[in-house]
Amino acid sequence: MENTQIKSLSPFEQKLNALFEKVFSRISFVDKMLFVFHLQIMIKAGLSIVAALKILSEEMENKKLKKIIAQIKNEVEKGRQLSEVLAQFPDIFPEIYVSMIAAGETAGTMEKSLLQVYTQMKKSHELLSHVRGAMVYPAVVVVAIIGIATEMIVFVLPKILVMFKDFNAELPLPTRILIGIVDFTQKYGIELVIGIFLFIALWIYLYKKPEFKRSIHAFMLHLPIFGKVIKEINLASFTLTLSSLLDSTISIIEAVKITASVQTNMVYRETLLKVAENLKSGTTLSQNLSPYHDIFPPMVTEMVMVGEEAGKMNDMLKELSEYYANEVDSMMKNFSTIIEPVIILVMGLMVAGIAVSVIMPMYSLAQSF
């Protein structure tokens, strides 16, 4: 009887498997949120952290997360702190959640800290869901417009416009423009596609440069409609994150630094890092926010100041986070209503332009007979 040996994977196959696992075994935000929620419930029920992690490593559906939880359980079993182990997986457990759990370990309030982390994750998820949900409709319509326009220019219009080229009379300007566009795409279609891909690649390359990215983010804050939405989202994130961190008994300087790291806009991120440094001199948060009134409205600085004077800054930040979360929700619900007329106008102009370009020479031809 022959011994069957398991063939070992080559380095290339190992890299391919790792890439496949990274791309297709993604851990969703909801998976992470459920992990924190279930861990909090089990600890509340009286289970030890090791026992809770063991159960979760067996029960979680996501295979990649199951493997990571098993690793976390093994490390905690050796005597390491949960926050210390979670910090080894920054892509899955960001600094904000690790810091909140670490504060809970220090204060002996792990259950409360996990509940705060879950609440923070839930509110952040709701905020992002409102934004993403509002962008689905415009994105689908824009893709549809681009697809229809491409199909018309590449396949339909060349067959219709070919008969106009034999006209002895001068064609109307709209028709000549349309023929020019169709001829250009037929002659230089491959070059055009390559040019678009090169432009996208160049944009991605430049966007990784901090100076270029910051310029784009600063420009976006001054856009009509979109600029206000971006400000509201960052303010909601700022107030929500800072209030959660301060609830976890993290120092104000460290809390502002961590809050800066979760901001989506670089202008807000860099400003909050400056504020964190200035707080070391003993000045208050409201005093440091007030010079940046373009991105932190007077309402924010005044409410923070009132909270500082009354010793209830957490409560004020929570009020602000609820206000801005509701503002974002309201704006996102109305976003489709605002953008729909613009999309309809663009589609109407496109259809009308093609129709005029095709019908005008036909009308001239009919008059000549």
> What pLDDT score was predicted for residue 200?
94
CA distance 265 to 217: 6
Q: Could you tell me if residue 107 is inside a domain? A: no
| Structural domain boundaries enclosing 42 | 15-93
Both tokens assigned to 43: 């600890």
The secondary element (H helix, E strand) that includes residue 69 is helix 63-77
The number of beta carbons lying within 10 Å of the beta carbon of residue 270 is: 15
Q: Which of 93, 110, 134 is the last residue of a domain?
A: 93
CB 239 within 8 A of CB 268: no
Q: In Å, how far are 112, 226, 301, 319, 329 from 127, measured between CA atoms?
A: 23, 16, 22, 15, 7
CA distance 243 to 226: 26
Task: Using the predicted structure, report yes or no on whether residue 274 has a pLDDT greater than 90.
Answer: yes
- The runs of H, that is alpha helices, within 226-284 are 226-247, 252-261, 266-279
CA distance 350 to 363: 20
User: Average of pLDDT values for 52-59?
Assistant: 92
Task: Using the predicted structure, report yes or no on whether residue 324 has a pLDDT greater than 70.
Answer: yes
228 and 84 in one domain? Answer: no
User: Greatest CA separation found in the chain?
Assistant: 95
Both tokens assigned to 205: 């390359």
CB 258 within 8 A of CB 241: yes
CA distance 313 to 363: 72
Among 54, 99, 91, 94, residue whose Cα is nearest residue 72: 54
Task: Using the predicted structure, report yes or no on whether residue 126 has a pLDDT greater than 80.
Answer: yes
270 and 226 in one domain? Answer: yes
pLDDT band at 364 (very low <50, low <70, confident <90, very high): low
CA dihedral over 127, 130, 134, 137, signed as positive or negative: positive
User: Average of pLDDT values for 162-171?
Assistant: 69
Task: Using the predicted structure, report yes or no on whether residue 2 has a pLDDT greater than 50.
Answer: no
Task: Using the predicted structure, report yes or no on whether residue 69 has a pLDDT greater than 90.
Answer: yes
Task: Using the predicted structure, report yes or no on whether residue 165 has a pLDDT greater than 70.
Answer: no
In one-letter notation, the amino acid at residue 37 is F
Q: What is the DSSP letter of 293?
A: T
Q: Could you tell me if residue 5 is inside a domain? A: no
Q: Could you tell me if residue 278 is inside a domain? A: yes
311 three-class SS: coil
> What pLDDT score was predicted for residue 4?
44
CA distance 361 to 315: 70
252 and 353 in one domain? Answer: yes
Task: Using the predicted structure, report yes or no on whether residue 354 has a pLDDT greater than 90.
Answer: no
CA dihedral over 318, 323, 329, 335, signed as positive or negative: negative
285 and 175 in one domain? Answer: yes
The number of beta carbons lying within 10 Å of the beta carbon of residue 348 is: 10
Task: Using the predicted structure, report yes or no on whether residue 275 has a pLDDT greater than 90.
Answer: yes
- Number of domains into which the chain is organized: 2
pLDDT, one tens digit per residue, over 213-236 is 999 999 999 988 789 889 998 999
288 and 251 in one domain? Answer: yes
pLDDT band at 62 (very low <50, low <70, confident <90, very high): confident
Task: Using the predicted structure, report yes or no on whether residue 3 has a pLDDT greater than 50.
Answer: no
CB 276 within 8 A of CB 253: yes
Tell me the Cα Rg of the chain.
Answer: 29
50 and 183 in one domain? Answer: no
124 and 84 in one domain? Answer: no
**Position of tokens 């879950």?**
118
pLDDT, one tens digit per residue, over 340-349 is 788 888 888 8
Both tokens assigned to 284: 């208050």
Q: Which of 93, 109, 143 is the last residue of a domain?
A: 93
Q: Could you tell me if residue 148 is inside a domain? A: yes
Q: What percent of the chain has pLDDT over 90?
A: 40
64 and 24 in one domain? Answer: yes
Q: Could you tell me if residue 253 is inside a domain? A: yes
153 and 58 in one domain? Answer: no
264 and 187 in one domain? Answer: yes
Q: Could you tell me if residue 166 is inside a domain? A: yes
Residue of 133 and 125 predicted with greater confidence: 125
Q: Could you tell me if residue 255 is inside a domain? A: yes
CA distance 80 to 237: 31
83 and 135 in one domain? Answer: no
Both tokens assigned to 81: 């702190």
Q: Could you tell me if residue 100 is inside a domain? A: no
CATH assignment at residue 221: 1.20.81.30
288 and 217 in one domain? Answer: yes
Both tokens assigned to 334: 């109305």
Task: Using the predicted structure, report yes or no on whether residue 261 has a pLDDT greater than 60.
Answer: yes
Q: Among the listed ranges 26-35, 165-174, 218-227, 231-240, which one has the minimum average pLDDT value?
A: 165-174
